[in-house]
């Protein structure tokens, strides 16, 4: 257990870095409590004379503070409801690049994880090719009957778990005290934000879970002609080590190389958008970190995604919600779009559907007066969530994660095809999913699921009847022979009865005193 002074030391160091980088200089003193304004002025005395632009100071400070703070910043970039839209845009620029740790350390970590030397696992094991805050990647090879198979080996950075645990404990300490003194911090649920970050980081630091995500995505997309994921080498995967098929493909960010290889860039952009929407709507399971560095194109023009540490999930309810909203905007049915919010229970029933539909129309109509390349689906969802805040719609973290991922995916797609028509591209995926789940086939499937539930209940009836008969036998035995209690139970009942008797006597004295007071008062 880390002590409060240790938390204060860590947080003080962070505060010093924020002050030096000029983070406090972008805070409006009039927006801070009166008692905190002298502290704000004192912090500004530590500011360096040459600080970066105001909009990048926070990201610069977080980068300087190290891996935990970079992760915090990246996480907060997905929560504009907590930090605001401007800060969220700044935090989106945070790059998770760190100096690599040594080759000997990497090989020792692999050996410790599997209990055998590296040369017993791999035919070759090269130097790191990429390094981030949590892990780094090495190119290696595995011996096969036909020679050697290249693989990518991702290794957890030594000591990173201890560092994250200490920093996250300090974040929790700060969030708890903030909620104790600030109504705004309680409204933003700062402790819950830190808890969510903790769960996210813990998942990222267990590579077995990333391997499972890859496996699930591979199953979901096995019949997709334009997308695939690297295969997992389960024999060489553990909590600290993840071994995957080596991807020898063209980075989606390298536009010139893609053109030189003759790829159809507008088709790639279309495939990227439709693939993402298909994963979100059809599967309810999507890659939530689809920046250009995590996307490649193989020689068959298939998209390949890597780095499955951050994944998003949508339940059936959220998918219906998303599909109907997108479809409602496509066909300009704002009333139905408003109805979906109320049916999902996202907007309190005390509000009028008509008023909410009017607010949604204010978002949708300007879109239809613009050219296709000017319409941003991600921006539309952001505006939608902003408007819903006026109607007390509680933010759904899973929908925010979807929206933030869509911002990135849309940006990558437009870098390939600046004139991409987002709505025409999205329409077939959304329409197909809606016909499948809201049409005749979907209703038949729903009826079949309902019948299956009834079947499961009927199957459980014999067990329920058996347990019911047993209870009836016990009741019959009690009425015939009396209820037999253990001596300990009788003693506890006596104590309870004695306490109840004392409280009853006290209550009677209080009532008597009140009656006397009323009599003499007259």
Distance CA 47, CA 25 (A): 8
Residue 410 in tokens: 């849309």
pLDDT tens by residue, the chain, 522 residues: 567 777 877 788 888 887 877 777 766 666 566 666 677 777 777 777 766 676 677 888 888 887 788 877 877 776 666 666 667 777 776 766 778 999 999 999 999 999 999 999 999 999 999 888 889 999 999 999 888 999 999 999 988 888 888 888 888 888 888 888 777 677 667 888 788 778 878 888 899 999 999 999 999 999 999 999 999 999 999 999 999 999 999 999 899 999 999 999 999 999 999 999 999 999 999 998 888 888 999 999 999 999 898 888 988 888 887 787 777 777 788 888 888 888 877 788 888 889 888 888 887 777 766 665 666 666 677 777 667 667 776 666 677 778 778 878 888 898 899 888 877 888 888 888 888 876 554 555 545 544 554 455 455 656 655 665 565 565 555 555 555 555 566 565 566 555 555 544 444 445 545 444 444 444
Residues annotated catalytic, as ranges: 289
**CB within 8 Å of 301: residues ≥ 6 apart:** 226, 263, 264, 267, 268, 271
pTM, to two decimals: 0.71
Distance CA 11, CA 264 (A): 50
| End-to-end C-alpha distance for the chain, whole angstroms | 63
Helices then strands, each counted (H, E), the chain: 22, 10
Given a contact cutoff of 8 angstroms between Cβ atoms, the answer to whether 66 and 157 are in contact is no
User: Which region, left, alpha or beta, applies to residue 307 given φ > 0 means left and ψ of -120 to 50 means alpha?
Assistant: left
Beta bridge partners, 435, equal none
Q: Which helix (H) or strand (E) holds 131?
A: strand 124-131
Distance CA 136, CA 125 (A): 13
CA 344 from centroid of its chain's CA atoms: 20
Judged on CB neighbours under 10 Å (0-12, 13-18, 19+), 144 is: exposed
Work out the angle at residue 174's Cα, subtended by the Cα atoms of residues 173 and 179, and round it to the nearest 5 degrees.
100
Tell me which residue has tokens 């996202």: 346
Question: What would the 3-class secondary structure string for 313-344 be?
Answer: ECCHHHHHHHHHHHHHHHHCCHHHHHHHHHHC
User: What is the Cβ-side half-sphere exposure of residue 192, based on CA atoms within 13 angstroms?
Assistant: 8
CA 115 from centroid of its chain's CA atoms: 34
């Amino acid at each position: 257990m880390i002590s409060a002074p240790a938390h204060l030391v860590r947080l003080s160091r962070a505060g010093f870095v924020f002050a030096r980088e000029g983070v406090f200089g972008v805070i409006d003193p009039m927006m801070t409590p009166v008692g905190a304004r002298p502290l704000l002025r004192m912090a500004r005395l530590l500011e360096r004379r040459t600080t970066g632009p105001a909009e990048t100071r926070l990201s610069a400070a977080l980068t300087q503070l190290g891996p935990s703070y970079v992760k915090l910043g990246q996480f907060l970039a997905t929560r504009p409801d907590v930090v605001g839209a401007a800060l969220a845009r700044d935090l989106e620029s945070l790059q998770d690049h760190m100096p690599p740790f040594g080759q000997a350390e990497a090989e020792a970590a692999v050996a410790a994880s599997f209990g055998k030397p590296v040369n017993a696992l791999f035919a070759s094991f090269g130097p790191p090719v990429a390094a981030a805050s949590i892990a780094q990647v090495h190119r290696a090879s595995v011996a096969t009957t036909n020679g050697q198979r290249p693989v990518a080996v991702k290794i957890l950075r030594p000591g990173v778990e201890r560092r994250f645990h200490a920093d996250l404990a300090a974040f929790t300490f700060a969030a708890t005290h903030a909620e104790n003194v600030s109504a705004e911090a309680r409204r933003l649920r700062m402790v819950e934000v830190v808890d969510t970050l903790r769960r996210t980081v813990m998942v990222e630091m267990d590579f077995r879970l990333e391997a499972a995500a890859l496996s699930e995505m591979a199953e979901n997309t096995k019949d997709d002609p334009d997308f695939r994921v690297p295969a997992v080498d389960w024999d060489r995967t553990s909590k600290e080590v993840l071994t995957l098929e080596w991807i020898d493909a063209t980075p989606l960010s390298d536009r010139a190389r893609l053109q030189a290889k003759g790829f159809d860039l507008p088709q790639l952009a279309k495939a990227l958008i439709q693939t993402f929407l298909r994963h979100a709507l059809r599967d309810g399971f999507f890659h939530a970190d689809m920046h250009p560095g995590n996307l490649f194109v193989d020689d068959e023009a298939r998209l390949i995604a890597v780095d499955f540490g951050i994944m998003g999930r949508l339940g059936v309810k959220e998918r219906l919600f998303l599909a109907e909203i997108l479809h409602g905007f496509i066909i300009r049915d704002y009333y139905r779009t408003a109805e979906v919010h109320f049916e999902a229970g996202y907007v309190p029933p005390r509000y009028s559907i008509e008023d909410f539909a009017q607010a949604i129309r204010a978002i949708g109509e300007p879109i239809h007066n613009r050219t296709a390349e000017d319409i941003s689906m991600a921006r539309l969802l952001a505006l939608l969530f902003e408007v819903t805040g006026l109607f007390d719609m509680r933010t759904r973290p899973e929908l925010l994660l979807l929206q933030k991922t869509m911002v990135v995916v849309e940006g990558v797609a437009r870098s390939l095809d600046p004139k991409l028509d987002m709505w025409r591209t999205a329409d077939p995926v959304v329409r197909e999913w809606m016909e499948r789940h809201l049409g005749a086939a979907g209703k038949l499937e729903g009826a079949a699921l309902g019948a299956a539930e009834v079947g499961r209940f009927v199957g459980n009836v014999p067990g329920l009847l058996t347990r019911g008969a047993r209870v009836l036998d016990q009741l019959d035995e009690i009425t015939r022979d009396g209820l037999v209690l253990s001596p300990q139970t009788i003693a506890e009942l006596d104590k309870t009865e004695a306490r109840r008797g004392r409280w009853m006597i006290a209550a009677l004295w209080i009532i008597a005193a009140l009656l006397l007071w009323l009599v003499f008062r007259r």
